[in-house]
Amino acid sequence: MSDHHDHDHDHDHAPITVDELPGYFDLMETAVRELLVERKLFKAEEIRRQIEVLDSRTPALGAKVVARAWTDPAFKSRLLENGRSGCEELGITFYDDTQLIVLENTGAVHNLIVCTLCSCYPRPVLGLPPDWYKLKPYRARAVHEPRAVLEEFGTFIPGDVEIRVSDSTAIIRYLVLPMRPEGTEHLNETQLADLVTRDAMIGVIQVAYKREAA
């Protein structure tokens, strides 16, 4: 999906906030989990162990991938060709059968990730999704008015830059490879990773760097 037209921002729309009651999918997840345990299809400790695996995944893993791509052109090429195998090169394991597609931001294209149906998300490399990613206002508006959504995150994309919105599915997930900020040539891979945030790898913000005064 791409943003090929202008939007009138004077109309009313639902803001992206997180002060909502649990949604349909949250309630269904709880109900199904309790039913599986009750019927002894899964043990509570098995579910607990899987939750611990999920909790061990954080955006620091994705940031490590981004920093390596910024500093290693050969790795970047492999990552863009096959995101999953690229991550596995760095020891990041995948506990499901999902495909990972890495989308590169450039001076001509800015990528934004959404899941319009529920909250499919690259959890093996980013951990749990933020609450706003799962809300209906973000899921709907990111598709129909991506520039307005980005501006609410403080991200202003020039009008001549195309915004591409990618919709995650149960089997295909996306990770944004942000542009490396200018003035970071002297930073090592670890320092670069420290600049990369979760939101930058979703595409709602850009990576920023402010060099300290000498």
Binding residues: 115, 118-120
Task: End-to-end CA distance of the chain: give it in Å, rounded.
Answer: 44
User: Any idea which residue has 């195309």 for tokens?
Assistant: 162
Structure tokens at 112: 């934004």
Q: Which residues are annotated as a binding site for Fe(3+)?
A: 115, 118-120
User: Which residues partner with 109 through β-bridges?
Assistant: 162
Structure tokens at 69: 């791509």
Among candidate residues 56, 85, 115, 168, the one labeled active-site is 115
Q: Has 87 been annotated as catalytic?
A: no
User: Any idea which residue has 């803001």 for tokens?
Assistant: 15
Among candidate residues 56, 85, 120, 168, the one labeled active-site is 120
Helix (H, G, I), strand (E, B) or coil at 12: coil
Looking at residue 42, the DSSP 8-state letter turns out to be S
Amino acid at 145: E
Among candidate residues 87, 119, 166, 168, the one labeled active-site is 119
Q: Has 119 been annotated as catalytic?
A: yes
Among candidate residues 2, 77, 118, 166, the one labeled active-site is 118
Instruction: Provide the annotated active-site residues.
Output: 115, 118-120
